Chain A
Amino acid sequence: MTSLPLALTINGHRYELEVDPRVTLLDLLRERLELTGTKKGCDRGQCGACTVLVDGKRINSCLALAVSHDGAKVLTIEGVSHGEDLHPVQAAFIAHDGFQCGFCTPGQIMSTLGLIAEAQAGDDPERIREGMSGNLCRCAAYGGIVEAVLEAQEQLAKADRRTAA
Chain B
Amino acid sequence: MKNFDYIRPTTIPDAIAAAAEPGSAYLAGGTNLLDLMKGGVTSPERIVDISRLAELNRIERLADGGLRLGALVRNADLAHDPEFARSYPAVAEALLSGASAQLRNAATVGGNLLQRTRCSYFYDTASACNKREPGAGCDALGGENRLHAVLGWSDACIATHPSDFCVPLVALDAVVEIEGKKGRRHVTLEEFHRLPGETPQRENGLEPGDLIVGVRLPAEAASFSANARYLKVRERTSYAFAVVSAAAALVVEGGKIRQARLALGGVAAKPWRARSAEAVLLGADADETSFVRAADAALADASPSGDNAFKIELARRIVVRALMSALAGTPGRLPALPASPFSSIPGVRHDA
Cα of A62 to Cα of B5 in the assembled complex, Å: 20
Contacting pair B5 A1 (CB below 8 A): yes
Contacting pair B106 A130 (CB below 8 A): no
Chain A 74-118 near chain B by CB (<8 Å), digits 1 or 0: 000000000000000000000000000000000000010011001
CB contacts under 8 Å to A, within B1-57, are 1, 3-6, 8, 27, 30-31, 34-35, 38-39, 47, 49, 51
- Interface residues on chain B, size class: 20 to 34
A24 and chain B: residue at smallest CB distance: B34
Contacting pair B238 A133 (CB below 8 A): yes
The interface residues of chain B lying within 8 Å CB-to-CB of A60 are 31, 102-103, 106
Cα of A57 to Cα of B8 in the assembled complex, Å: 22
The interface residues of chain B lying within 8 Å CB-to-CB of A48 are 100, 102
Contacting pair B105 A59 (CB below 8 A): yes
Cα of A25 to Cα of B239 in the assembled complex, Å: 23
User: Is A22 an interface residue when CB atoms closer than 8 A count as contact?
Assistant: yes
Contacting pair B38 A130 (CB below 8 A): no
Contacting pair A130 B103 (CB below 8 A): no
Chain A 31-59 near chain B by CB (<8 Å), digits 1 or 0: 00000000000011100100100000111
With A4-B6, A58-B105, A59-B102: A64-B30 Cβ-Cβ less than 8 Å: yes
Cα of A58 to Cα of B76 in the assembled complex, Å: 11
Inter-chain residue pair count (beta carbon < 8 A): 94
Q: List 13 A-B contacts (CB under 8 A).
A: A21-B5, A44-B39, A57-B76, A60-B31, A60-B106, A63-B31, A65-B34, A68-B51, A118-B101, A126-B337, A129-B238, A133-B101, A134-B103
Contacting pair B3 A63 (CB below 8 A): no
Cα of A135 to Cα of B38 in the assembled complex, Å: 21
User: Is A127 an interface residue when CB atoms closer than 8 A count as contact?
Assistant: yes
User: Is A124 an interface residue when CB atoms closer than 8 A count as contact?
Assistant: yes
The interface residues of chain A lying within 8 Å CB-to-CB of B237 are 133
User: Is A120 an interface residue when CB atoms closer than 8 A count as contact?
Assistant: yes
With A65-B27, A120-B80: A111-B3 Cβ-Cβ less than 8 Å: no
Contacting pair A1 B239 (CB below 8 A): no
Q: Which of B4, B49, B76, B336 contacts A68 (CB 8 A)?
A: B49
B27 and chain A: residue at smallest CB distance: A68
Interface, chain B (partner A; CB < 8 A): 1, 3-6, 8, 27, 30-31, 34-35, 38-39, 47, 49, 51, 76, 80, 99-103, 105-106, 237-239, 336-338
User: Is A67 an interface residue when CB atoms closer than 8 A count as contact?
Assistant: yes
Cα of A44 to Cα of B34 in the assembled complex, Å: 8
Nearest chain B CB to A62's CB is how many angstroms away? Answer: 8
Cα of A124 to Cα of B333 in the assembled complex, Å: 13
The interface residues of chain B lying within 8 Å CB-to-CB of A115 are 101
Contacting pair A21 B47 (CB below 8 A): yes
Cα of A1 to Cα of B47 in the assembled complex, Å: 13
Contacting pair B38 A43 (CB below 8 A): yes
Nearest chain A CB to B334's CB is how many angstroms away? Answer: 10
Contacting pair B1 A22 (CB below 8 A): yes
The interface residues of chain B lying within 8 Å CB-to-CB of A67 are 6, 8, 49
Known: A21-B6, A63-B35, A114-B102. 4 other contacts (CB 8 A): A64-B30, A65-B27, A133-B238, A134-B100
Q: Which of A51, A57, A65, A130 contacts B337 (CB 8 A)?
A: A130
The interface residues of chain A lying within 8 Å CB-to-CB of B51 are 68
The interface residues of chain B lying within 8 Å CB-to-CB of A120 are 80
Contacting pair A22 B3 (CB below 8 A): yes
Contacting pair A59 B106 (CB below 8 A): yes
Cα of A45 to Cα of B38 in the assembled complex, Å: 11
User: Is A131 an interface residue when CB atoms closer than 8 A count as contact?
Assistant: yes
B29 and chain A: residue at smallest CB distance: A63
Nearest chain B CB to A50's CB is how many angstroms away? Answer: 9
Contacting pair A45 B80 (CB below 8 A): no
Cα of A101 to Cα of B5 in the assembled complex, Å: 40
Nearest chain B CB to A9's CB is how many angstroms away? Answer: 17
Query: Top 6 nearest A-B pairs by Cβ distance?
Result: A134-B100, A21-B6, A133-B238, A126-B336, A133-B239, A57-B105
Cα of A131 to Cα of B337 in the assembled complex, Å: 9
Nearest chain A CB to B162's CB is how many angstroms away? Answer: 13
With A65-B34, A127-B336: A45-B103 Cβ-Cβ less than 8 Å: yes
Nearest chain B CB to A54's CB is how many angstroms away? Answer: 8
